[in-house]
Every structure is written in C-alpha cells, then in structure tokens.
C-alpha cells in the first residue's frame, strides 16, 4: 500500500525477533509540512522511547519515526535512554535530518536492553531503500502478538492520511503501555 504524498518508508528483519519476521521500520516525512501531534501513556513508568518521543513531539516537528518490535526498551534505565538517543541519531544521520525530529517507538519484551548492533545495521539497510509503497511492510514490522497488520487510510478534499497500529489488550487502560 502507498503512503501519502511526501512520505516514504522501509522495513527489515533486523534479527530482533527469533522468528525472522520484519521487526524494524522507518517512516520519513519529506514535507513540505512536518507538524505532529502525539499521545502518550499517563503511566508513571514510561519507557525510554516514550520519554524521548515526548520531548520530540513537544517541539511540534517530526521528520521521521523509527519503530521496532521484539523489544520494548522499557525498564532499562539510563542505558535504555542512551540507546534510544543513539537510534534517533543514527536515523538523523542516515536521512540528513536532526535527531531531535525523530520519534522512536519500541514494542515487545520489557526489561531487556535492545541489541543495538542489530538495530544500527538494520537502519543502514532501510535508509537507502525507503519508498512510497511500504505502508504494509511497516505495519508488519510493528506486530508482536497481533495476527494481522492494522492500516487505515482516509482521503477527503484532496488530503490523504494513513496510519498503522499495533493492537493488543496491553493498550488499555488509557494507553497504559504506550
């Protein structure tokens, strides 16, 4: 499925999941507008990617999102936040954008550090292969216990909006783990 005009994406199986399934995706907004809106958990315990992405979203400008499944990077302490920062810096460098405009999202097992060498290697594979027809593979890359990918696209008055989601009971109540 195609992404809206101005967006491109890519996904790989970086080896975060033992199944060999897609587990890492990057979605880039090439503009001309970069405004963002985001909602996050109200839980007192927030994962490193949530803390990072809150800061980015407060700036109101997002040029890319990197999402992984197979590890939540939650309850991982200072190293987890450093890994999130490193991920954003890598995406920023590969796409020639500011790391402060990169949202980072992780889903999967809690309490384990991410295998950063696999993530960084995967990002290097994704960046040169970003394209407009990657909505489906991006949706697949964020699946954990999901049985189907979740995609929505809406067109109205010349504007198009698309979204992907991982869906599971762990989202309730009130985005508790997001």
CATH code at position 119: 3.60.70.12
Contact yes or no for 73/106 (Cβ under 8 A): yes
pLDDT greater than 80 at residue 49: yes
144-147: long-range pairs with CB below 8 Å, 24+:
144/69, 144/70, 144/107, 144/108, 144/168
pLDDT in tens, 126-176: 999 999 999 999 999 988 887 888 888 898 998 888 888 887 655 555 655
pLDDT for position 166? 82
Q: Under DSSP, is residue 136 helix (H, G, I), strand (E, B) or coil?
A: helix
**CA 9 – CA 63 distance, rounded (Å):** 12
Residue 43 lies in a domain: yes
Residue 66 lies in a domain: yes
If we measure between CA atoms, which residue out of 3, 24, 21 comes closest to residue 105? 24
**DSSP annotation string for 51-84:** HHHHHHHHTTB--EEEEEES----S-HHHHHHHH
Residue 62 lies in a domain: yes
pTM score, whole prediction: 0.91
Residue 156 lies in a domain: yes
Higher pLDDT residue, 69 or 175?
69
Residue 176 lies in a domain: no
Higher pLDDT residue, 146 or 76?
76
Average pLDDT, the chain: 91
Residue 178 lies in a domain: no
pLDDT greater than 70 at residue 6: yes
DSSP state of 87: H
Residue 56 lies in a domain: yes
Q: Known catalytic residues? A: 177
Determine which helix (DSSP H) or strand (DSSP E) holds 160, and give its type and residue range: strand 159-165
pLDDT greater than 60 at residue 114: yes
Residue 2 lies in a domain: no
pLDDT for position 127? 95
What is the span of the domain harbouring residue 89? 7-171
The tokens 């939650």 sit on which residue? 74
Domain count, the chain: 1
């Amino acid at each position: 499925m195609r992404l809206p005009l101005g967006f491109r994406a890519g996904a790989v199986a970086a080896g975060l999941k033992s199944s060999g399934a897609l587990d890492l995706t990057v979605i880039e907004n090439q503009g001309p507008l970069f405004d963002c809106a985001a909602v996050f958990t109200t839980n007192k315990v927030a994962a490193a990617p949530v803390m990072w992405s809150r800061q980015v979203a407060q700036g109101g400008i997002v040029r890319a999102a990197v999402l992984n499944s197979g590890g939540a990077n939650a309850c991982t302490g200072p190293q987890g936040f450093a890994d999130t920062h490193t991920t954003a810096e890598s995406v920023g460098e590969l796409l020639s954008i500011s790391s402060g405009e990169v949202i980072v999202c992780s889903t999967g097992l809690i309490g384990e550090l991410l295998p950063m060498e696999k993530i960084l290697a995967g990002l290097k594979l994704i960046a040169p292969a970003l394209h407009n027809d990657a909505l489906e593979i991006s949706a697949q890359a964020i699946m954990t216990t999901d049985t189907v990918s979740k995609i929505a696209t809406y067109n109205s008055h010349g504007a198009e909006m698309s979204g992907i989601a991982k869906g599971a009971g762990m989202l309730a109540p009130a985005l508790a783990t997001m």
